[in-house]
Chains A and B, each alone.
Chain A
Amino acid sequence: MDQKKRLLIIDDDPDFVEGIKSILDAADYDVDVAYNPKDGLNALQTGKYDMLLLDIMMGRGAEGIMIARKLRKDAKLVEMPVLIITGIREQIAFLFPGEAVHPRFVAVDELVEKPVEPQLLLEKVSTLLQRAEERKAQAG
């Protein structure tokens, strides 16, 4: 049997996190949580996660974007699939002027809006994980 997939959630709203974590737990994922960007980056550095679920508006502003950017500069983490979970689609467009709908930081990212329907959440997570697997297989 496949090993459980390990997911990391970085989001500063513990209540919201409970709501998605319990859905993911029930779907048999192994879920860790970091409640601020700093802990999140530290956790990512351990390199044991298959996927990141990332909030954008944390702390004093769009600190989630800072994490996504760091990720893309890190040779080890650049292929990590990221599901961006945000409450503010329009502001994302505002943060990236000229990009009409929302920016995908890279092709391995997806974006969903808060709150996210369980079905949609699970679909996105499994699609992103599957794509990552396929990439790995191709590369290997």
Chain B
Amino acid sequence: MANQPKIIIIDDEEVVLDSCTQILAGSNYEIAVAPEGKLGLELVHQINPDLVFIDLKMPGLSGMQVLENINELDATIVTVVITGFATVNSAVEAMKKGAYDFLPKPFTPDEFRMITRRALERRKLMLETIALRREKELLRENFSAIVSHELKSPLSAIQQNLYALDRELGNSLTVTQKARLDRMKARIDDLIKLITSWLRVLSVDIGKIRESFTLLQVSPMIAKAVESVEPHAIRKDIQIITAIDETLSPIEGDEISFVEALVNIFDNAVKYSYVGSNVCIHAQEKGRNIEIAIADTGVGIAKEELPYLFNDFYRGKSGQTVEGSHGLGLTITRRIIESHNGTISVVSEPGKGTTITICIPTIVQQNS
């Protein structure tokens, strides 16, 4: 909104135009008037106002039509309709069509000033909201560039020099000095990984995932995901047992993202399992959905923590310190599953284990 708010008053009664102009004369507004709808709309095009008062009952183009035209032109222009008492019903109609408020005739100067102030406040808020939304979008778009360059670059430079120092000093360091150097490398590595997955969260653009949807078979994707977490499982002596129904209907989705989601869940199951236990993956068709259940007999999740499980940056605090977790995996997973029109849910009992269930509609359902 420019420094001086621009107001247009459209009314066929000259006395209304005159008095309204006079009422607002002392305030810092730029005011234009039009005696009928068509001229009024021309004015709107010309001066791009912040606020338009429209008399509902005018000869020629009706107030309602003027209102609709303004709304189509720019929905952020605030409109207030002026009505006679007998036409309060049409005022309600006007508000349904996008008018911000209505002003019943006759009105006092104070009423008019007040509604003007409120309407302009509304306009200001709308413009601010739009600006903020645009800023947020820009931030999101630029964030990956900013983060990778401004945060990752210095970390990479540090890490690169630690690598080099480690090689150059390798033989002359004491065991504890070497251990400290290794810890530094590990810490920096964690930071770089954190930034990378942070970037993932910001860049998982649901709309973009949907653009690349194809027909997918569930069981090869499960196999792929199992393969990718197997090394981790073997290290912890955990067996991954799969039970997948033979005849699962296909789903519609993005293979890379979907496998990523599965890997995140499988990997969590392994991560939170006790050494030597089992992780069971069961996939079946239930009604018009594919249900994939991942069950572990691990540390489990306390009841009060369950609601936060899929939130950004949440990570379990149930007793155990967990290897390399920064609480983003399940957020990404949830977003991916939801973009596939699916749901993800969790049942858990501390000390007994956790079962995470993904439900994805089969392609048959989506067509019908």
Contacts and interface: CB of A to CB of B under 8 A. Distances in A.
Interface residues of B, number: 23
Contacts of B152: 87-88, 114
Nearest to A21: B164
Interface string B135-146: 000000000110
A117 B167 contact: no
Nearest to A18: B161
Nearest to B160: A19
Contacts of A87: 148-149, 152-153, 156
B163 interface: yes
B2 interface: no
A91 B156 contact: no
Contact of B203 (A15, A23, A90, A116): A90
A20 interface: yes
A72 to B, nearest CB: 25
Most chain-A Cβ atoms within 10 A of its Cβ — which of B153, B166, B203?
A: B153
Interface in B91-139: none
A114 B203 contact: no
B157 interface: yes
Interface string A1-27: 000000000000101101110110010
A114 B163 CA distance: 12
Contacts of B199: 90
Contacts of B168: 22, 26
Contacts of A18: 160-161, 164
B160 A116 contact: yes
17 contacts: A13-B157, A15-B157, A16-B153, A16-B157, A18-B160, A22-B168, A57-B149, A57-B153, A90-B203, A91-B145, A91-B148, A114-B160, A115-B159, A115-B163, A116-B163, A118-B163, A118-B167
Interface of A: 13, 15-16, 18-20, 22-23, 26, 57, 87-88, 90-91, 114-118
Pairs A-B, 10 closest by C-beta atoms: A19-B160, A115-B159, A114-B156, A15-B157, A16-B157, A19-B161, A115-B160, A22-B164, A115-B156, A88-B148
Interface of B: 144-145, 148-149, 152-164, 166-168, 192, 199, 203
